[in-house]
Structures are given as structure tokens and as C-alpha cells.
Structure 1
Amino acid sequence: MPPLFTVTGRDVLFAHWPMDSEALSRHVPDALTLETFDGTAWVSVLALENGAVGVGPTTPPTSVGATPQLNLRTYVTMDGDSGVYFLSLDTGRRVAALAGQRGFGLPFHHATMRLTRRDGRITFRSRRRGGATPAARFGARYRPTGPVFEADRETIESFCVERFRFFFPAGEDRRVDALQVGDGNHGGVRVGTISREPWELRPVEAEIRRNTLFEAADLPRPTTEPVVQYSPGFRMGIDPLETRDAAGRRSE
């Protein structure tokens, strides 16, 4: 089955922090189980420039519609399937925030954002103003420093980046009917699947200058330096969503 959409992006900063499982679990739906690495839960920030969205398998020109995006996510399982659970997503384009909310039911927010490049270094700034959602700010400067590699299995890099599903509560789903798969059971969980090649990663020098995403999500502020990686870019397909009930059964 061809994807519903194809999305591209570039200059991705991954920053991963260990997190207390008890503090994190209350933010995750009961139908999902926090997944840990060596007994520790993790929360990651992804700062990137998202490209335009193409319909089906079409790859849009990367120079069209590029806008910064900022993802805060953790790692979960359901019925043996691993994936990510988004705690928040910020985008520099208001229409993209509305499309993410209404098209996929995801916790998107509109923010004032800027990504600049100079002398091989990327500077990323984001400011989500208060109001209906908690205010949040993030700022980072980063520069790739080494050759491209793929994450080895059983490493923290693989645990945090090689994910092919995302989950969110069906009760939050405000998608248009054309995107639905299943019977719309609002007592369950929506599952999205993506298709892509393994991430191309590089070592990176990164300075996190400002980060209040955790406080905005009602999570403890990190007390350690993050584990960081960089990726020059990606191309991924987003497949139709499916519904599962609390026991993990798929809707027909």
C-alpha cells in the first residue's frame, strides 16, 4: 500500500535524556507501556527543518515549504510493537499545526521558530507563547563533526532513533474521516506507521542553550547532559492510521 504522504527533512539534532519512569508514566495512556533502555526511560528532543509534504509516494522539492519543527517524545510499546509517544510537537507554521491536530490528532503547537546555517553550524530557536497551551522555549547550536554511521543494534542510538510507529489516544483523534482506518473506537489507541531507510547519523557538537519543553509538559527538568546525534536528513512515508483497543486488538 502506498503511503498517504511523503515527508522530507534535514539538519536533525537528536538530544536524549534519561527520565524517571514514575514521573513519565502518568503522561502515557494506560494502554501503552513505557519502554526502557537498561532499565531507564528516555525522553528525546528532535530539532529539525521539515520539508514540504507530498501526497502519496511523491517526494516534494525540499526548497518548497521548509519550516522548523521541534518534537518532544518518549518510547513505548503496545502488544509487542515498539514506537514513540509524542508529548508535544512545535512547528513554525500555523497551518501545519492545525493539520497535525485535525489531520492526525497529534499534540501540535504553533511557535515562533527560526533555523539558520552559518559556517557549517546550525542555530535553532523556538518560542511557543502561552495561552491555550503552556509556553515553552528551546534554543540550540550544533555542528556535525564526524563521518556518517548507522546506529548499531542494542545501543542507545538505535533505541531512540530507529522507530517506525507512533501512538496516541483515540479519544484525542480529530481527524477527517478520509484518513481513518478502523471503526473510530475512541476507547483505544491510534497507531501510525512510517516507512524509511535507517537513519544516517553523525557525531555532533551541540550546545543546548535554552530548554523549557520539559516544564511545559509537566516533567522534571533534566539534570544531566543529553546524549546527542545529528542526521543530515530523511525521507519517510506515512501510512494510514489504524485503531487498536486497550487490549491491543486491531479494529476491522
Structure 2
Amino acid sequence: MKQVWRHLLFAHWPVHEADLLPYIPPGLKLQQWEGRPWISVSPFWVDPLRLRGIPPVPFTRRFLELNVRTYTEYHGKPGVLFLTLEASNPLAVIAARTLAHLPYHHAKMHAQFVDHSIQYRSTRHASDRQKMEFIGYYRPLSDSIFHAGPGTLTHWLTERYCLFTTDSKGHLYSGEIHHLPWPLQEAELEIKNNTLTKSLGLEHDREPSVLTFTERLDVLFWPIKKL
């Protein structure tokens, strides 16, 4: 599969190990940077999505997505583990949950450009009392693009080329990802509301510790494989 990610924000926070351990399946090890595990929140557009060898699937070519991920490894191989993936397209959600065992959820989402910033809203009611919501304004601070240097925290957070997931029976899977190094820009974010990470039981500062913007990234996905 090929996806093009557009107008992507990367917001990163250190969190408490105890908050993340319940999400780490057997066989994976939670990674830490200088003694702290991290999470990342990423709102963006998928435009387009294409499955190799078949025509574009109607109504799944373009949609909004927001994911929350953390950082793990399998026998020394680093990768990402998604805690949740919110998407505006219900067909894409069903396909990803069924074929890739990824924790996708259909959410009510809206994004628009407002005064040179992107206003992004994602809302999902997990229960009658629990609303998982992220509302924020973000934008790049300049046109200057940089690539994270090896050995830096930003490189550790962004340059990941494998995802891990589990099915309903607890079987562990991995999927290979390929793209060029992240073209990053300095960014700013104004958070209006964020109950998304709180609803996952994660405590962190209100403002992210690391923040970048990417205008476009072309990404290739290989089919997931059982480990």
C-alpha cells in the first residue's frame, strides 16, 4: 500500500512508564529515552491511499487521521506501537482493523486552514461519559526544512520503519514501512482541548516537549506478518 501524508504535526511528550506498561503486549519491550518512555500525537491528512495492483477503492482515497503511538522493540528491532488511530473514514477503519489488526476507530473529524494555521478537531465518544477529543491549531514556523541527526531525541522519535500490533487472540504482528528521512520544520501548536491522551490514562505536561511539522511524506507499507 502507498499513502501520502500531508500537513502532519508531530507532538511528543515523555510519560510515566507505569501508564504505558498495560498497553505493551508480551514479546515487546517498551523503549525509553534517558529513562523515560515517550508518546507522540500526530494529526494529518491521508491523500491519497492506494493499494498495490488494484484501482483506487471508492471513498477511501482521502481522509483525516490522528494517531497516538509509543516506542517499542522486538528482539532489539525498534518500532512503533499505536495506542489508538482515529480516522474520519469508516471504510478505512474497518479495513485496517480487519486486515492489519490495528486499533483504528471512527471519529468525527474536521480540519481547515485558518489564518495560516491548521485548525484540527477529532472527537469520539468511547462511552456515555468519556469523550476522546483533540482540538488544536498548528502551523510551521518557517519554510526551512531539516532532517533529524542520528543520536538525537528527534531522530529516535521519528525515524522508525516498523510497526507492531496484536490481534484479538494476542498474537504479535509486525509491518515494514519505507519512506525517505522525515522532512521536518519547526512548528507551534495551540491546544484547545486534549482529552484523547487523558482518556488513555496518560499523564503529561500540557505543552509538548518536541514539536515538528511535515508538509508531505510518501510512505510505502508492506503486508503485516505474524511474529
Q: Does the 8 A contact of 1:57 with 1:237 survive in 2?
A: no
Cα drift, residue 119 of structure 1: 3.7
Q: Does the 8 A contact of 2:111 with 2:121 survive in 1?
A: yes
Counterpart Cα distance in 2 of 1:128 and 1:193? 29
Segments of 5+ residues of structure 1 without an aligned counterpart are 173-185, 245-252
Counterpart Cα distance in 1 of 2:146 and 2:65? 24
Letter in 1 for 2:207: E
Confirm whether residue 152 of structure 1 aligns to residue 121 of structure 2: no
Relative to the length of structure 2, the TM-score reads 0.91
Cα drift, residue 59 of structure 1: 11
Judging by fraction of residues, say which structure has more strand: 2
- Stretches (4+) displaced over 6 A: 57-60
In 2 relative to 1, CA 106–134 (structure 1 residues): closer, same or farther, beyond 3 Å? Answer: farther
Instruction: Give the count of matched residue pairs.
Output: 222
Cα drift, residue 10 of structure 1: 0.4
From 202, 207, 210, give the equivalent of 1:225: 207
Letter in 2 for 1:121: S
From 164, 167, 178, give the equivalent of 2:164: 167
Q: Secondary structure at the match of 1:203?
A: strand
Identical pairs, percent: 30
Cα drift, residue 57 of structure 1: 8.1
CA deviations on 1:116-144 (whole Å, 9 max, x unpaired) are: 01342111001012349953000110111
Letter in 2 for 1:38: E
Q: Does the 8 A contact of 1:6 with 1:58 survive in 2?
A: no
From 166, 174, 198, give the equivalent of 2:181: 198
Segments of 5+ residues of structure 2 without an aligned counterpart are none
Pairing 1:180-191 to 2, within 5 Å after superposition: 188-191=171-174
Q: Does the 8 A contact of 2:25 with 2:170 survive in 1?
A: no
Relative to the length of structure 1, the TM-score reads 0.82
Q: Which residue of 2 aligns with 1:73?
A: 69
Q: Which residue of 2 aligns with 1:249?
A: none
Cα drift, residue 58 of structure 1: 9.2
